[in-house]
Chains A and B, each alone.
Chain A
Amino acid sequence: MSVPASEDPVREGHAPVPACAGIGLRFQHHAEVIEQRPAVAWFEVHSENYFGGGKPLAWLDAIRADYAISLHGVGLSLGSAEGVSERHLARLEALVRRIQPVLVSEHLSWSAVSGMHFPDLLPLPLTEEALAVFCRNVGQVQDRLRRTILIENPSSYLRYRHSSIPECDFVAAVAARTGCGILCDVNNVFVSACNHGFDAQRYLSALPGGRVQEIHLAGHRVRTLDNGGEIRIDDHGSRVCDQVWALYADAIARFGRVPTLIEWDTDVPPLSVLREEAAKAERIMSTGWRHAVAA
């Protein structure tokens, strides 16, 4: 892979993302952002929503003129054994060229096989084979985009019998081998830790701090199963819960100030609610969890 591993990833032609709290921009808020230009440090959008033309892309062009934009992919399927879709990569490349985002990110997951695409972040077996496939695909994307990308840890609902590498070590290995950055989704760490009974703190401690270039925060829900068991579902449909805020404060203590994003995708509330959540993240970044709660 031609992208060198370094602590300071190559960024060409675009400003660094501010180490502040931004907001995941959804269609519901496009008009308000364009008309009112609220004080938001930066926005992140789902890349695939802008693969077509027309209004969405025109709106993003208009917003991009005043705000730093991060492109967050949900469908590149970096874990596909069959490799990355050339058509998808070409469309992403065109969007990156047009928007000049401050960050480009994707997930530790897969969603495509045999010409079919499943719109979900499907879990990878954490094996040496999958690690090699994943790194090959990340390398191909970084070579094509001529920049490093960030890889996000997904929420996990199942584990494979033949997985042999803890997820945090898998993420760290991808970063070490490809030079990519890490998008640490603190809510996902918490959800996965609850679902599988591992220690969220130990997960964070296994990540190479210098590589964590973005943090995601969101709400999740608890689903009770027929057998009485519980599973936490990452639905991005509520405020960030206190336990995740506390884990976020730990992450900031560990990684320093990192650009942090509030995500909300189900029952999207008014922009003002998202701004309150972003302000809370700002307070925690500045003063830590205890002080932020006291305030």
Chain B
Amino acid sequence: MPSLHELQRAFARAMLAGPADEACGAILDDGIAAAERLRVHRNTFRANLARTLRMTYPAVDKLVGEAFFDAASETFIARHPPHSADLNEYGACFPEFLDTFPAACGVPYLADVARFEWALNVAAHGRDTPTLAAAHLLSIEPNQHARLRFVPHPSVTLLALTYPADEIADAVLAGDDAAIAAIDLSGGMLHVIVYRGARGVEAQRLTTDAHRFLLRLHAGEPLGALLEDTRVNVPALLADALDKGRLTALRIDP
């Protein structure tokens, strides 16, 4: 008789790889084979996750079609089961999976579209956190400004993309064939910030310099060091970040 823990580990292996003797051996056949009974749960598990991936990655789904998406999600689910019961957190590494999924190599921009859609998902579901008000910043003594460090809102993602995934996703979901045909895939690297603003989820294109600056800002580098970056207008970028609710807190180094 297996212990509860042994049984749960064997059951988990059957969920990922299909019914096997160790799990089936613990289950009564009783008119219906143990493997068939296990499959009821495996089907539910996989269908729930496939549906979750489809909801998070609708443009990817539409780009590749149902059969391709089914095949990709089936492989992905077996390799990357969730770590949380919050399914809004499921599928973070789907873009990287698509990068290496052999059948996806004919669609070079697919993983970038997935990266963009994951950022939209994070923006939609990131936890509620009070945003930092510009007035709070103004209340801080100027002699302390160099030692300020900022914390980004949980909904914010900075993206560096090879393809214009934002345009592709919008055009694909709108079913706008003319817009899809007009997209220039050879424009080179582009940068986007995705976040939840006052009016909902927003995506904004950034210059390379602004992207690099915001990466450092979000990583918590002190303002003194950031102000040495002369390629960007630091006060303007900071004001924009505060205005759009993309910062939640600040710390002052002792």
Contacts and interface: CB of A to CB of B under 8 A. Distances in A.
Contacts of B2: 162
Interface string A203-226: 000000000000000000000010
Interface string A52-91: 1111110000000000000000111101111001011001
A286 interface: no
A231 interface: yes
Interface stretch (B5-13, B96-104, B144-152, B208-216): B5-13
A159 B83 CA distance: 26
Interface stretch (B35-43, B158-166, B169-177, B217-225): B35-43
A159 to B, nearest CB: 5
A162 B82 CA distance: 29
B85 A111 contact: yes
Interface of B: 1-5, 7-9, 11-12, 15, 25-28, 30-34, 36-38, 40-41, 44-45, 48-49, 52, 81-89, 123-129, 154-155, 196, 200
Given A53-B127, A54-B155, A116-B12, A158 B85 contact: no
A267 interface: no
A87 B84 CA distance: 9
A273 interface: no
Contact of A77 (B44, B85, B154, B200): B85
Interface of A: 48-49, 51-57, 74-77, 79-82, 85, 87-88, 91, 110-120, 122-125, 127, 129-130, 133, 157-162, 196, 225, 227, 229, 231, 233
8 contacts: A53-B125, A74-B85, A75-B86, A80-B8, A117-B85, A120-B41, A125-B7, A231-B37
Contact of B26 (A52, A54, A80, A161): A161
Contacts of B1: 162
Contacts, number: 137
Nearest to A123: B41
A133 B154 CA distance: 35
Given A49-B88, A117-B83, 19 more contacts: A52-B88, A52-B127, A53-B128, A53-B155, A54-B196, A76-B85, A88-B84, A114-B12, A116-B83, A117-B81, A118-B41, A119-B49, A119-B52, A122-B8, A129-B3, A158-B28, A161-B27, A225-B32, A227-B32
A123 B127 CA distance: 32
A123 B11 CA distance: 10
A129 B4 contact: yes
- Interface-central residue, A53, A133, A233, by most chain B CB under 10 Å: A53
